[in-house]
A and B are shown apart, each in its own frame.
Chain A
Amino acid sequence: MKAVRFLGMPKPGQGRGWVISGPFLWFLVFFLVPFLVVVKISLSTAEIAIPPYAPLFTLSDDGTISLALHLGNFQYIFSDPEYVLAYLSSLRYAAGTALITLLIGYPVAYGIATSRPGIRPALLMLVVMPFWTSFLIRVYAWIGILKPNGLINNFLMWLGVIHQPLEILNNQFSIFVGMVYAYLPFMILPLYACLEKLDHSLLEAASDLGARPFRAFLSITLPLSLPGIIAGSLLVFIPAVGEYIIPTLLGGPSTLTIGTVLWNEFFNNHDWPVASTVAVALIVLLVGPLMLLQHFQAKEETR
């Protein structure tokens, strides 16, 4: 223990500060400061210029600096039903995805955690492997599976179960399929980490005391895996709210989500201030979940 503290607290004047300052500065400049820049641009007005926004500070001839804050962008996105709808539908997709991945991921994580210790790493690897291959390509693959003459429809028509192709692409269903598919590993991993540590003697005790397996699950396994459930749900929910690729490729042209709206404002309308405002609104929405996640991970570290 002494050495840990020694490594952690070297004598004054040693290089520890230098070691920390490198990455610290990098993330300050390329992660934290950019958010402030986004907030700044969201408060300016769009202009036909390069870059396409008006400066906040202007230096006039008599040497005074004037600051023009423009709250109109926020007013605009909160009064335009299109933005409100995009906001709500993103929330719905993200929350729905978190719920479905939980329902599917829990039994899988439980199954892996209760399988023979020798094969657990292999099963876990099978869950993680797809995550290592291209996200874009895996989402694209679903087009071929879901489209009118795609894999599923062709198969069902060949079986004779249906006579007309099901409409399962370019709607909410396909978006959910893509999101659940892409984010499932993020749910299974923290659940597994939690379930694996579970003390099985507790379940034996419950069974000895006459609790049936389901009852024992409800009163022991489920509450003890709550940290995994919360961590997994946040790991799915947070990135899913801002998802752009899945709604664009699988949702069809009329899909409205925060991601697609932000992208279109930026790349198609070249309205950087409004795009920044949408980004700020999204960040505000995510501050709570992000802090909750950090809180849970810090607790995990100290255990």
Chain B
Amino acid sequence: MIGKALQGRGVLRVMMVLVMVFLYAPIVSIVVYSFNESQLVTVWSHFSTKWYVALLHDDQILDAARISLEVALSAASGSLVMGTLAGYILTRFTRFKGRTLFSGMVMAPLVMPEIIMGISLLLLFVGMEQIFGWPERDLQTIVIAHITFSTAFVAVVVQSRLRDIDVSVEEAAMDLGARPVDVFFLVTLPLMVPALVSGWLLAFSLSLDDLVITAFVSGPGSTTLPMVIFSKVRLGLNPEINALATLIILLVGLASGIGAFKTAFKPAAKAAG
């Protein structure tokens, strides 16, 4: 019986290792190929950093990268504010009119196919522009769209942190005469800092990566990095894109890795301490 259980454990282990390989092999392959000198990408010739040099001279990519960073910085900050509010409302205000509708609207973008959010937001923007003369389709429409779908992710992170925070701390501040606003800014918010950091980083990387929604709501002058990447890779493999992808993996992976690390190891550290 014990032997059988061990055997089962072994099968699970193998399965887990295979899945990890499945999850990481594509990412590793991109990084390796980006240092391949050959134009043929998957046929190895020898080590070279020439595609990184080519990248530095590609104005189209550099411009798009600048636009994407600009959008991601605003969108992540906007999502942080919106997601913190939404997460706070959903955990602390348990009863108010329209709560179900509110939580539905905030959380639906987590799963809603992007293509639907893209077309519906664009049609809204076009309609609004016809009626109010605002907004013109440029970076601001992209930022609004990104805030709308990233808020849910920030809210989820904030919610899970808020559930861990001992309400009695807030209670004590309240008993000592602090107004709710002061309690929020002086007690609750400082306790949420780790969640806010990972929420911001998550929103940043989601914004930097979004293609479908952005393609719908962007105007003629606002081509983001994923849009350039997509138009190039539709034609097949491209060694320059491998180099670019490696840099993105490094940047986003590092930033978000820190965020994920903080959230993932917090409960473990607490359990240990």
Q: Check B113 against A239 for contact (C-beta < 8 Å).
A: yes
Q: Are A239 and B94 in contact (CB under 8 A)?
A: no
Produce 1/0 per residue, B170-203, CB < 8 A to A.
1100100000110000000000000000000010
Residue of A nearest to B102 (CB): A24
Known interface pairs A6-B174, A15-B181, A293-B111; A34-B102 also in contact (CB < 8 Å): no
Would A9 and B115 be within 8 Å (CB), given that A33-B124, A130-B23, A141-B26 are in contact? no
B49 at the interface (CB under 8 A from A): no
Q: What residues of A have a CB within 8 angstroms of the CB of B117 in the complex?
A: 31, 34
- Write the chain B residue with the least CB distance to A291: B104
One of A32, A144, A290 near B29 (C-beta < 8 A): A144
Q: Which residues of A contact B126 (CB under 8 A)?
A: 51
Q: With A37-B127, A135-B209 known to touch, is A282 a contact of B113 (CB < 8 Å)?
A: yes
Residue of A nearest to B94 (CB): A8
User: Which chain A residue lies CB-closest to B175?
Assistant: A3
Q: Is the CB of A19 within 8 A of B42?
A: no
Task: Please state if A136 and B42 are interface contacts (CB–CB under 8 Å).
Answer: no
- Given A31-B148, A145-B26, decide whether A110 and B12 contact each other with a Cβ distance below 8 A: yes
Q: Is the beta-carbon distance between A132 and B253 smaller than 8 angstroms? A: yes
B25 touches A245 (CB 8 A): no
A238 to B113, CA, bound (A): 7
Q: Are B120 and A37 in contact (CB under 8 A)?
A: yes
Chain A interface residue count, CB cutoff 8 Å, equals: 100
Flag if B16 contacts A111 (CB, 8 Å).
yes
Confirm or deny: A244 has a beta carbon within 8 angstroms of a beta carbon on chain B. yes
Interface string of A238-280 (1 = CB under 8 A from B): 1101111100110000000011001100110000100110010
Min CB distance A132 to B, Å, is 4
Given known contacts A31-B109, A107-B12, A294-B104, is B25 in contact with A145 (CB within 8 Å)? yes
Cβ contact within 8 Å between A132 and B95: no
Contact status B248-A137, CB under 8 Å:
yes
For B108-127 the 0/1 string (1 means CB < 8 A from A) is 11111111110111011011
CB-CB contacts below 8 Å: B247-272 with A: 248-249, 252-253, 256-257, 259-261, 264-265, 267-268, 271-272
**Counting CB contacts under 8 A, is B86 at the interface?**
yes
**Cβ-defined contact, B257 with A132, below 8 A:** yes
Report yes or no: B261 in contact with A125, Cβ–Cβ below 8 A.
yes
**CA–CA, A150 and B41, complex, Å:** 9
Known: A37-B127, A141-B29. A23 touches B86 (CB 8 A): yes
> Chain B's interface: helix, strand, loop or mixed, by majority?
helix
* B245 sits at the interface (CB 8 A): yes
Interface code B138-172, partner A: CB below 8 Å = 1, 0 otherwise?
A: 00000011011001000000000000000110110
Chain A residues contacting B148 (CB-CB under 8 Å) are 26-27, 30-31
Does A28 touch B at the CB level, under 8 Å? yes
Q: Tell me, rounded to whole Å, the shortest Cβ–Cβ distance linking A30 to chain B.
A: 5
Given contacts A15-B180, A30-B148, contact A213 B5 (CB under 8 A): yes
Q: Is B241 at the interface (CB under 8 A from chain A)?
A: yes
Asked if B42 and A150 make an inter-chain contact with CB atoms under 8 angstroms apart, the answer reads yes
Kindly identify which residue among B24, B42, B100, B107 contacts A147, using a CB–CB cutoff of 8 Å.
B42
Of the candidate stretches A72-80, A81-89, A116-124, the one touching chain B is A116-124
- Chain B contact residue count (CB 8 A cutoff): 103
How long is the Cα–Cα vector from A297 to B104 in the complex, in angstroms?
Answer: 10
Q: Please tell me if the beta carbons of B19 and A16 are within 8 angstroms of each other in the complex.
A: no
Q: With A and B bound together, what is the CA distance between A117 and B269 in angstroms?
A: 11
CB-CB under 8 A from B145, the residues of chain A are 30
Q: Is B89 within 8 A of A20, CB to CB?
A: yes
B133 an interface residue at 8 Å Cβ cutoff?
Answer: no
On chain B, the residues within 8 Å of A145 by CB distance are 25-26, 29
Knowing A133-B256, A136-B209 are in contact, say whether A239-B119 is a contact too (CB < 8 A).
no
CA A303 to CA B86, docked complex, whole Å:
20
Chain B residues within an 8 Å CB radius of A150: 42
Interface-centre pick from A26, A31, A138, A213 (highest chain B CB count, 10 A): A31
Q: Are A112 and B16 touching (Cβ within 8 A)?
A: yes
Closest to B216 in A: A266
In the complex, the chain B residue whose C-beta lies closest to that of A207 is B1
Q: Given A20-B102, A154-B42, A294-B104, output 15 extra A-B contacts at Cβ < 8 Å.
A: A3-B171, A3-B174, A8-B93, A22-B85, A30-B121, A129-B257, A132-B253, A133-B248, A134-B245, A140-B30, A213-B8, A238-B112, A242-B113, A244-B212, A259-B113
- 26 A-B residue pairs with Cβ-Cβ distance under 8 Å, sorted by A, are A3-B170, A7-B167, A8-B92, A8-B95, A14-B180, A23-B85, A27-B148, A31-B105, A34-B123, A112-B16, A125-B264, A128-B260, A132-B205, A134-B205, A140-B229, A141-B30, A142-B26, A143-B236, A149-B43, A245-B230, A275-B119, A276-B119, A279-B120, A286-B112, A293-B111, A298-B100
